[in-house]
Structure formats: C-alpha cells, structure tokens
Amino acid sequence: MKKTTYFVSFLALLFLSFLLGSCSRVSEGSNKAAEKIKLFVTATAQTEALKNPSPKDDAADDPAVWINPNDVENSRIIGTDKTGGLAVYNLDGKELFYYPDGRLNNVDIRYDFPLGEKKVALVAASNRSTKDITFYQVEETDGSLRKLPTVGFESPMKKNVYGFCLGVDTLTNTFYAYVNSKLGEVVQWKIQSEADTLKGEIVRTLKLSSKLEGMVADDTANTLFIGEEGKGIWKTTLTPNSSEVSMLADSDLKNNTMLEEDIEGLAIYRGGEGKNYLLASSQGNYSYAVFELVAPHRYIGSFRIKDGRVDAAEETDGIEAVSVALGEKYPQGIFVVQDGFNKDAKGKAIPQNFKIVDWRNIDSLIQNRMKK
Ligand code: CA
Ligand code: CA
Ligand code: CA
Ligand code: CA
C-alpha cells in the first residue's frame, strides 16, 4: 500500500473507534456487569425528556416527590437538571414548571417546616452554580415552587457542593440540611426561619476519604446514610451529636459482588413492619439494591428496570421511593429513578429523564423472589 492509503486507513480506523466509543456510551448502554442481575421490573410511566440539554448531556440527576395532602393523585415529581435547573412534573410525567435556578444537583423534601407563622412543605437542592443550597416552598394549589430567601447556607467546603439531603430530628422538630463534596466532606446545617427567610447554622462537619454523593436521612431512627461512590454506604446519626461513621457491612463493595460502583442515589421505602427498605442505585451494573432499613441493614437483593411500556433505566444517578398510596394507580406508592440513557419509542437517544415504577412490581419481586 502507498503511504497515503496507510494514512487514510489509519484515519478510518480512528474514526470508527471514535464512533463505537461514543455509541456505546450514549445509545446502547449495554453493560457486561449488569448481566449478573437477574430480576427485573418495568417502568409504568416516565417524565418528559429534559428540554434544554442535548441527548449527550448528563443532565437529569435526582428526584423528590411532593405528596399533595389534599389530592394524592395530583402529587408532583420534582427532578433536578444539573445543567441548569429544576423541573416539576405530574405523576403522568408531564412537565408543569421549570425553574432555571442554576446547576441544581440533588433535591429533597420535608413537610411541616415552620416558616414564620405557617407550616410548609420545604424543597431544597444543592446548587453548584451558587455553591450553596437553594430552598423552595411548595404552593399547595398547584405544586409549583416558590424560591425562599436564605442566609448562611454558603458552603465552606474545599470542593463544590454535590450530594444533598434533608432530615428532621423528630424529637425536637429540628430541620437539618446535609451537603457533601467529591473530596469526602460533609456539612450539616440547622435550618431555622425568620419571617420568610431561612437561616442556616453549621452544626457538624465530617470527612470521609473519597467521593460522596447519595444521601438519605431516616428521621424516625435518627440515622443519616451516606454513599461513598467507590466504597459503600456509611451511616451516622442524623442529629449532630456524633462524628462516628460505620459502613453497612452488606453494602461494602469489597464484599457484595452484586454491587458495582458507583453507589449513587439512596432512598427509603417505609411500607410497614418487615417492609421497610433502604434502596441504593448501583450505577455500574444498572441496578437497584434493596437492604432492610432496620440495622444491620441486611442485603435482600437487586433488580433492574428493563424495557417495557417505556425504555429501560440505565446508569442511574438519583432515586426516590414513596410508600404513600398515590391513588388507584399506585396504591403502594412509586419508585422514581433517573435514566442515564433515555430513548424515544423508536429507540433514538433523547435527553435524559426520570422513570416511574409502580411499587407493587417491586414488592412482588421482593416477596416472591428475593425473600425466598
Ligand atoms: Ca449520570
Ligand atoms: Ca432526592
Ligand atoms: Ca455521582
Ligand atoms: Ca433508558
């Protein structure tokens, strides 16, 4: 072959490998590690794809659910777009509101927060644009969000804010916000209000060894769970009186071969005695691990969300679980997950979204397959 032919073949090969590389990332989402997971459910519904990001952007990240106290069927899914805001959807997945308030990463909700004279549902998210926490009050009329003024929530961490959750000490009705960083830092704020303004006071800082993100608080057990992406799930007290952390033995990536890093979103499902679970997104094998919520947090099993009425969920970041009945459609609540590879009905890659699973599907897996 002539020199030029060599060069052209080289270029062609380079181009081909580039194509293959990007295709496997964006469209296919095939994954050898995921083949180990043999239990499946399908999603019942999905949210609209995010409107601003491109299909290649890692954009959707973490959901929360506002349970409408007056009309559960009109509850709302609140999902972060980490490229620029926060979207609010109805349970059919229709986008109702979008707030372009910065690179909001993780979002959480707590009810009955004393704001001045009122009690409100408080939604909050870690904001990587403003390096602090953005807070909202849920408007009960339509589930829209009203941004609240804040003081004292600027992050003192060396790295930018990343994972986030809320927690309530139910003994004293004290509300807390927790933020972490990719350096393993955790900061806890006490949240108070003066008229309409939220005031933050740092009450504890912790330092783990590497990248953290997913967190969830079990208010009734005074426990904060912290996911260290490459290691496993830690727990500590929700209240700031302890700096001890301990690893959930069954979540340790060194021991549990059904988990594949990163450990991402964490969520709690509270279905009553014997049906209380801690869930974790095992991002590396596109699955969700189920643990008993009660100590020692025994591992029950893992499942994936496969293609069904809507496409499968892959490479999930944030998750949320709701155990309250959301009308006839979801009598045992829902499980909501971010989908890393969203596809339209023809299989074409489109911007990311959130998948909604009827909890009954997961409950029957747990009762019939995992607990046998
Ligand atoms: Ca992602
Ligand atoms: Ca969340
Ligand atoms: Ca992450
Ligand atoms: Ca998908």
Per-residue pLDDT reduced to its tens digit, 38-81:
999 999 999 999 999 999 999 999 999 999 999 999 999 999 99
Ligand 2 centroid from CA 193, angstroms: 22
**DSSP strand pairing (150-151 vs 197-207):** parallel
What is the rounded CA–CA span in Å between residue 179 and residue 164? 5
User: How far away, in angstroms, is 51 Cα from ligand 3 center?
Assistant: 22
For ligand 1, the distance from its centroid to the CA atom of residue 85, given in whole angstroms, is 16
- Lateral strand order in the sheet of 45-46: 45-46, 353-358, 334-339, 319-322
Give residue 43 CA to ligand 2 midpoint distance, Å: 18
3-state DSSP helix/strand/coil percent for the chain, to nearest 5?
15, 45, 40
Q: Which of the ligands is closest to the CA of residue 59?
A: 1
pLDDT of residue 26: 44
- In the prediction, which pLDDT does 61 show? 98
**Rounded distance, CA 345 to CA 360, Å?**
25
Q: Taking the model in full, what pTM does it have?
A: 0.92
| Ligand 2 centroid – CA 99 distance (Å) | 17
Residue 365 vs residues 43, 264, 323, 354: alpha-carbon distances, Å: 14, 22, 16, 21
Q: Furthest-apart CA pair in the chain: how many Å? A: 83
pLDDT of residue 372: 73
Per-residue pLDDT, 371: 83
CA 337 / ligand 3 centre spacing (Å): 14
Compute the distance from residue 211 Cα to the ligand 3 centre, in Å. 8
Ligand 1 geometric centre to CA of 31 (Å): 15
CA of 180 to the centre of ligand 2 (A): 14
Distance 316 CA to ligand 3 centre (A): 9
Ligand with the closest atom to the CA of 165: 2
Gap between the Cα atoms of 303 and 41, Å rounded? 7
How far from the centroid of its chain's Cα atoms is residue 259's Cα?
A: 17
- 81 CA distance to ligand 4 middle (Å): 17
Q: What is the pLDDT of residue 12?
A: 57
Give the per-residue pLDDT at 21: 41
pLDDT at 348: 96
Distance 308 CA to ligand 4 centre (A): 10
Residues of the chain scoring pLDDT < 70:
1-30
Ligand nearest to the CA of 106: 2
Calculate how far, in angstroms, residue 26's C-alpha sits from the geometric centre of ligand 1: 11
- The pLDDT, as a whole number, for residue 27 is 43
Q: What is the pLDDT of residue 1?
A: 47
**Proximal ligand: closest to the CA of 43:** 4
Query: Which residues are near ligand 4, the ion (C-beta closer than 5 Å)?
Result: 311-312, 339, 341
Ligand number nearest to the C-alpha of 313: 4
Instruction: Quote the pLDDT of residue 274.
Output: 94
DSSP string, 208-224: -SS-EEEEEEEGGGTEE
